[in-house]
Structure 1
Amino acid sequence: MIRIAVAEDNKEMRKQIGKFIKRYEEESGEPFEIFYYEDGRDITENYKCLFDIILMDIEMPNMDGMTAARKIRSVDPEVILVFITNMAQYAIKGYEVRAMDFVLKPINYTMFSMKMKNAVNSIKRSEGKSLLLTANNGVQKVSTNDIYYIEVEGHYLCYHTSEGVIRQQGTMKDLESTLQDESFARCNQCYLVNLKYVTGIVQNTVEIAGESLQISRPKKKIFMQALANYVGGGQ
């Protein structure tokens, strides 16, 4: 299911956007879950990386859409941002926060559905491969998109995921081979990091999922290059 957040201060406009999303859901067959916010401050307060798409009005009281987008981007590099505005020149600022697109008011459904189709297709292209992991309750299919990082612990690999930690036997060498086409990189001998969840580099540590992992000297150059390629759109 695709999670969509709508941040719009105008009540009637929120309703219209919601109706358009539901209409597109029926036409496309894509299941959506919609969350509504009345202001930029509302959506950024205690923000969690839960959404696939955010439809954001630019002009809102208390906190405008651009300020909110910058705050969101500081913790969520992957969510698709689509700005809603009645002035085209504002949309240009969206490039500062890597907005995918913009919708001009008054909103036309035909144009809106095209924007939605592009956003959904982008999500599908970025879907990771699935791994079959042995959990406590049997074999579990886990998307690489849900893995923060993998840690070596003796003869075991610990998969730190959005649903918790899954521990099973394996080698980092074999896992690296499996994930060679995905956005993962080694920051040291013990950790294989999903670059999409990196929120910062502090001296010789990488910040990910609220934790700080050590970057070793031998791995630093290759890891930083992999991260730069990912951020720059190389993956």
Structure 2
Amino acid sequence: MLPAKVVMADDEHGVMLILCSILSKLEGALVIGTADNAKDAIALVREHNPDLAILDIEMPDMKGIELAEKLRDIKPDIAIVFITAHHEYSLDAFKLYASDYILKPIDEDRVKSTFRRIYKMLEISKKSNTSQNTETCRISINLGNERVFIKLDEIFYIEKSGRHTLISCSNGKFKTRQTLQELEKYLGKMFFRSHKSFIINTDRIEKIVSFPNSSYYEVKFNNCEDKALLSRDRISELMKYSDYNV
């Protein structure tokens, strides 16, 4: 497995130096950026797509748990480790948002064991994502104080709508701040980028309707009233998904 990309956020410079020193000696760890505030941490995750974020639970501009939620909106599978001086923070809140926690003052052995456990978890997850079939694969969407897990085969289409993205499923619609490009990384082979604003589930298509003098087709789905768009220059590529064409 490739090195795990790590970003860190803590307003205590000394803590960052200690963590960087420890992780630099660990096989499989690659620190790609540090921040002393939540805003910069968010920018790091957007830019570098890291595997692991190590976050202070008490950031100057945002609580660590709120920051973790925002990072998961950007990258749902990012592993989170909190840094805290208070042992009580390691209970219920951590179970919801974090893979582990590290207490201050920083203990080198604790950092090493935490990273190695998460690295192993990431390794297993990546192998699983490579081998699993689409019927069991799911994506997770953060909705305020809850996280919804959606089976890929329940999705009709995904649409860019203003600053958000809408996921239309058999059990409703869900809104996320993730982009179409970010979501594409986690979708199965049956998903097709039909239009600049749409990704469609080809297994759910019922019919494609053509309109004269239009630059797109309408895509209709089984058991779904809504429609998606298909650019005319994408129709031949879409036909490759059909078992038999006449």
Q: What's the TM-score, normalizing by structure 2? A: 0.55
The answer (yes or no) to whether the contact 2:11–2:59 under 8 Å persists in 1 is yes
1:22 corresponds to which residue? Answer: 24
Which residue number in structure 2 is paired with residue 174 of structure 1? Answer: none
CA–CA distance in structure 1, aligned partners of residues 57 and 116 of structure 2 = 21
Q: Deviations over 1:95-134 (max 9, x none)?
A: 33x31110011111111111011110000001147xxxxx
Q: What secondary structure is seen at the aligned counterpart in 1 of 2:25?
A: helix
Amino acid of the structure 2 residue aligned with 1:109: E
What does residue 185 of structure 1 align with?
152
Instruction: Show structure 1 runs of 5+ residues with no match.
Output: 130-142, 146-176, 193-198, 221-235
Correspondence for 2:42: 44
Identity %: 20
2:152 alignment partner AA: A
Match of 2:94 in 1: 94
Q: In the alignment, what sits opposite 2:11?
A: 9
- Distance in 1 between residues matched to 2:21 and 2:80, nearest whole Å: 19
Separation in structure 2 between the aligned mates of residue 219 and residue 33 of structure 1, nearest angstrom: 47
For residue 126 of structure 1, give the secondary structure of its aligned residue in structure 2. helix
- For residues 57 and 9 of structure 1, the distance between their equivalents in structure 2, rounded to whole angstroms, comes to 8
Secondary structure at 1:60's aligned position in 2? Answer: coil
Alignment of 1:115-154 (within 5 A): 115-128=114-127, 144=130
Q: Work out whether residues 33 and 44 of structure 2, in 8 Å CA contact, stay in contact via their aligned partners in 1.
A: no
Contact 1:6–1:55 (CA under 8 A) maintained in structure 2: yes
Contact 1:205 1:214 in 2 (8 A): no
> What's the counterpart of residue 110 of structure 1?
109
Q: Cα deviations across residues 55-102 of structure 1 (Å, max 9, x unaligned)?
A: 001112122312211211223210000000000112332233x31110
Distance 2:103 2:174 in 1: 42
Using a 3 Å threshold, how does the CA distance of structure 1 residues 62 and 182 change in structure 2: closer, same or farther? closer
Shift of residue 39, structure 1, vs aligned partner: 1.1
Q: State the match for 1:34 in structure 2.
A: 32
Match of 2:90, as an amino acid? A
4+ residue stretches of structure 1 with deviation over 6 A?
A: 205-208
**Is the alpha carbon distance of 1:11 and 1:127 closer, same or farther for their aligned partners in structure 2, counting shifts above 3 Å?**
same
For residues 85 and 219 of structure 1, do their structure 2 counterparts lie closer, same or farther at Cα, with a shift above 3 Å needed? Answer: farther
Contact between 1:82 and 1:101, CA under 8 Å: does it hold in 2? yes
Q: Which moved more, 1:177-186 or 1:1-10?
A: 177-186
Q: Which structure has the greater CA radius of gyration? A: 2
Conservation of the 8 A alpha-carbon contact between 1:82 and 1:102: yes
Q: Gaps (5+ residues) in structure 2? A: 139-150, 159-164, 181-196, 205-220, 225-246
Distance 1:120 1:55 in 2: 13
